Amino acid sequence: MMERFSVIIVFVIGIGVGIVLYSNGIAVDMVTSKLIEPLLYAFIATVAAAIVFEIRSTKEIVSNIGLSLRLTVSTAVGSMVGGILTALILHRDLVGCLAIALGMGWYTFTGSYLAAFDSYLGLQGFTANMLREVATIVVYPVLSKRCPIESISIGGATTMDTTMPIIAKFTNARVALVAFIHGLILTLIIPVIIPALYN
Amino acid sequence: MGMLIRFKRMNVGRLINKLTTTMVYIIVMLMGILAGYTIMLRSSTAGIQTVFTFFAEVFLLTLMPVVMSFSLSLLIIRIRIGRVR
């Protein structure tokens, strides 16, 4: 739990540093965007390695794959519909809103990928997806009593790592495994969907 | 031999976890700097109104996908579109 807050604290410190740098007339937007890009690629590589090391038994995964797939489809389609509705309500760029919504909680990837094209869109992608993770941490313990499986979709891609402890704590091993597979599939498809949608 | 493989696997796994955690903080810090800079740049050129608009947009961009995903998963998993579990 403390780790979640430390990420938010680091982000707030970063905002403070950005404001101070702007006030002193130091332009950092281009440099920061350029720095984020290689870090992002390295990050994706480490996440891929982590996935390989976390998988222990393939038999267990196969038995819950059907339910996880249905859940993954509902999360992706729901996020897509959410993005379209937001674009319609706000009268904004549909593709941009879709790309942010389809980040499905993976804020480091969505934020930094979109920042390479438009810093404002990247900022929104980062903040909206970070809030989705925070929302999962706050909402899941309440919703898990009545709908433990269905509530996994709120977490999106974060259910395989960052929100996994919350899910495991409030439910059982089977739900945790479904959440892991759900998060794993989304983590694999997000780096394909967003660049295909916004390039 | 098995012990050695397990030991190597454990160490590499731990190293990857630490590397991922460290990189998350660096990326988050850089994103924060970019966020702070962009907010100031936008608010100075378009006014404080932009900042409020930004948060209103972010609120909707967070809420709508969450609500729609949850509703759709209720429909697909629980009700299974017509078939009650």
Distance CA A127, CA A124 (A): 5
- pLDDT tens-digit map of A138-195: 788 888 888 899 999 999 998 887 777 778 778 877 788 888 889 999 999 999 999 9
Indicate whether B81 pLDDT > 60: no
Name the band, by pLDDT with cuts 50, 70 and 90, for residue B3: low
Name the band, by pLDDT with cuts 50, 70 and 90, for residue B85: very low
More confident call, A183 vs A31: A183
Summarize the confidence of residues A56-68 as an average pLDDT: 75
Q: Which amino acid is it at A111? A: G
Which 89-128 residues of chain A touch chain B by CB within 8 A? 89-90, 92, 97, 100-101, 104, 108, 111-112, 115, 119-120, 122-124, 126-128
B58 with A53: Cβ contact below 8 A: no
Full residue range of the structural domain in which residue A67 is found: 36-197
More confident call, A140 vs A77: A77
What is each CA distance from A147 to B19, B26, B32, B48, in whole angstroms? 35, 36, 35, 41
Suggest the residue from A24, A32, A77 to mutate for an interface test with chain B (most B CBs closer than 10 A): A32
Indicate whether A75 pLDDT > 90: yes
Name the band, by pLDDT with cuts 50, 70 and 90, for residue B5: low
Contact status of B49 with chain A (Cβ, < 8 Å): no
Q: Which residue of chain A is at minimal alpha-carbon distance from B60?
A: A86
**pLDDT of amino acid A61:** 67
Contact status of B74 with chain A (Cβ, < 8 Å): yes
Ranges A70-84, B12-26, B48-62, most confident: A70-84
Distance CA A136, CA A143 (A): 10
**pLDDT of amino acid A191:** 92
Residue A11 — φ and ψ, nearest 5°? -65, -45
Q: Which amino acid is it at B33? A: I
Contact status of A166 with chain B (Cβ, < 8 Å): no
Residue A119: list chain B partners with CB under 8 A.
34, 38
Task: State the Cα angle at A13 between A122 and A45, rounded to 5°.
Answer: 50
Distance CA B57, CA A97 (A): 10
Are A18 and B23 in contact by the 8 Å Cβ rule? The answer is no
A43 with B27: Cβ contact below 8 A: yes
Comparing CA positions, the residue from A162, A126, A129 lying closest to residue A36 is A126
Summarize the confidence of residues B61-83 as an average pLDDT: 83
A173 in a domain, yes or no?
yes
Q: In B1-85, which ranges are continuous DSSP H helix?
A: 2-46, 48-73
Q: How far is A126 from chain B (nearest CA, A)?
A: 8
Does residue A52 sit in helix, strand or coil? Answer: helix
| Total domain count, chain A | 1
Comparing CA positions, the residue from A127, A115, A157 lying closest to residue B59 is A127
Ranges A17-31, A46-60, A69-83, most confident: A69-83
A84 in a domain, yes or no?
yes
Report yes or no for ipTM above 0.95.
no
**pLDDT of amino acid A47:** 64
Four-CA torsion A176, B22, A46, A1, nearest 10 degrees: 10
Q: How far is A24 from chain B (nearest CA, A)?
A: 11
Q: What is the greatest pairwise CA distance in chain B?
A: 66
Q: In chain A, which ranges are continuous DSSP H helix?
A: 2-23, 29-54, 58-63, 65-90, 94-101, 107-115, 119-143, 152-155, 164-170, 173-197
B76 with A73: Cβ contact below 8 A: yes
A166 in a domain, yes or no?
yes
Which single residue is written with the structure tokens 């989304």?
Answer: A186
Are A39 and B30 in contact by the 8 Å Cβ rule? The answer is yes
Distance CA A31, CA A170 (A): 43
A14 with B29: Cβ contact below 8 A: yes
**pLDDT of amino acid A80:** 95
- pLDDT tens-digit map of A97-111: 999 999 999 988 998
A10 in a domain, yes or no?
no
A156 with B41: Cβ contact below 8 A: no
**pLDDT of amino acid A81:** 95
A26 in a domain, yes or no?
no
Residue A86: list chain B partners with CB under 8 A.
57, 60-61, 64-65
